[in-house]
Structure 1
């Protein structure tokens, strides 16, 4: 993938001053991997805010200190999604509303990259609109990204017709034209997953159940959609690689209201819990020598919940722990440079909070650190 020129990351925001009086509070949570670990082992946290996004970065591997917030201006940004590649590059996809040359409102998808922890972003580049006649702001859904093992960026968005649209990079670093992957009745926010075998898989809740697309080989065309008569709540699907080249999808079941795990070729397994209508944060790690899946979600009362169970052994039970912290949107999970589970969320006051795995058996978290200026 061709590297693009890097522009300034923006000003540091202190006490709500500077950078055009932008606040250090988030306007919600981003979609995707908004808590990432760089090649140097430090974590970075990204949140949308009025007029752009804010970034906090660990000052040392494993913390506990953080620098920031640093403000990155993106005029007209309405939604933010974050995806990280195996090379450590962090990709930002935004849905942007802006006024056209003839003063008519328009909407497009924008993309930028951060190549190294704490350094500048590339320039923001428009990826356009998949529709030949762009609609009024609103119909174009939120973009979702996945970065293949070779660094190729894939951008998925639900089209106005209810199917799935794709735009991806070519081997020379340029962007291919938008592709229509078909389907209909798809909900917002498909779950796209880059597998270690180089392929991409996508799953989305639809009016008729579940639609799934996959690549037969790395860089190849997408086959599908395959339809499955299942009932996830739209907008709640999340994806995690739980075996070599094998995806498990997690969602909120529309009938029970609880979390569920599903792999193609099997029936969903109920996990319990009471997640709100947002995707869970998903993570795979070793706990007490066992291969485990860790999930985090915002429940119906607005409180953060943490859960864990055996990888691809969901029927053996899943354990949930209600936390005392309330949150906006979905939480985020990552492993820090010392291999500890880290959970981040956006508090009711719009300020990020971070807790880490404590030493000892099991998975218990430290107190919450509030990130400020």
Structure 2
């Protein structure tokens, strides 16, 4: 477990070519941590106290060669990291694999990064591996989904005894970009992927059951824009950007897609449920077409009554991250053009009013 504190002036160095994004995690002690890519790995800041405006000094989580990263948490608040890595070998070859690490407590070191290999043995096919998506079920089993070189779905799972099964080729074809996977409170997993012909939707019928084959959904989504949120008991809503320029779309199985407006740019959406003015609301965030962070709010599963969008005017490199602090307030984080992280927090005003942005 190797980490080190970095000077604040070195913490704003932009990341080398690698993962673009920003991620929140919440500890069982109520403190939030925020992660952002940098040269040589990830930077992590942790709240000094739960719900505090003060953040500790940045800590470097070293890992070389990451090109993409997926982050999730389990019921114990353990943080699971799954990355796609490219490493240049002394003989000139570039080796591509999937790596995994875990953090058990906020502010504590991340475990060593373990290679989970690549579903492809050949170098050329291995290099075409897509970016991973990780979820952890209620039973604690880690599932990693990734698009393989043929545009199919590959899966690797952790067993109940902590050992990893081999890579499982799920078949399918035509997957074009990152997958959106969600582990529901019931233990079921649902998965969405964009394809050359539309969207595929996988759904377990019961916790631990077979994932089955992807079912075509008669909808179209901009590749790389998918996100998922559990908006009701055992019921996910999927969000994406309409490829024909009609803004954000919300979809639940068995219902028609609903247009939510907005003018998103490229990249995925972030989604969060929060209690605002006594209402169960869904907060959405994305990088707008103008390159700034845009936040929207609407009543959960009541999309027909509209979503209210607000452009923060704050430039960001990727979709903002959303979280709730220890007091239930919405917190928004962005990675700026210079690699710096800025954070804003819900104030006591009506609706979702954000504080001034603070540069970490």
TM interval, shorter chain, is over 0.9
Residue 50 of structure 1, aligned match among 35, 39, 42: 39
Q: Indicate whether 1:222 and 2:211 are aligned.
A: yes
The 3 A distance-change label for structure 1 pair 50 and 32 is closer
Shift of 1:360: 2.9
Give the structure 2 partner of residue 14 of structure 1: 7
Equivalent pairs, count: 360
Shift of 1:182: 2.1
Once residues 140 and 52 of structure 1 are traced to their aligned partners in structure 2, the CA distance between those partners, rounded to angstroms, is 20
Once residues 43 and 328 of structure 2 are traced to their aligned partners in structure 1, the CA distance between those partners, rounded to angstroms, is 25
Q: Indicate whether 1:331 and 2:331 are aligned.
A: no
Shift of 1:184: 1.3
1:1-373 → structure 2 map (5 Å cutoff): 7-8=1-2, 10-15=3-8, 24-26=13-15, 34-100=23-89, 103-135=92-124, 138-371=127-360
Shift of 1:273: 0.3
Q: Which runs of 5+ in 1 are unaligned?
A: 1-6
- CA deviation profile, 1:25-62 (whole Å, cap 9, x unmatched): 44589678811111110000011111211111100111
The 3 A distance-change label for structure 1 pair 265 and 28 is farther
Shift of 1:132: 2.8
* SS of aligned partner of 1:315: helix
* SS of aligned partner of 1:328: coil
Q: Which runs of 5+ in 2 are unaligned?
A: none
Please give the TM-score of this superposition, normalised by the length of structure 2: 0.95
CA contact (8 A) 1:248 1:262 kept: yes
- CA deviation profile, 1:170-220 (whole Å, cap 9, x unmatched): 111100111122221112111010100011111011111110112222222
Once residues 104 and 315 of structure 2 are traced to their aligned partners in structure 1, the CA distance between those partners, rounded to angstroms, is 32
Give the structure 2 partner of residue 4 of structure 1: none
CA contact (8 A) 1:106 1:135 kept: no
The 3 A distance-change label for structure 1 pair 297 and 23 is closer
* SS of aligned partner of 2:304: helix
CA contact (8 A) 2:22 2:36 kept: no
The 3 A distance-change label for structure 1 pair 337 and 15 is closer
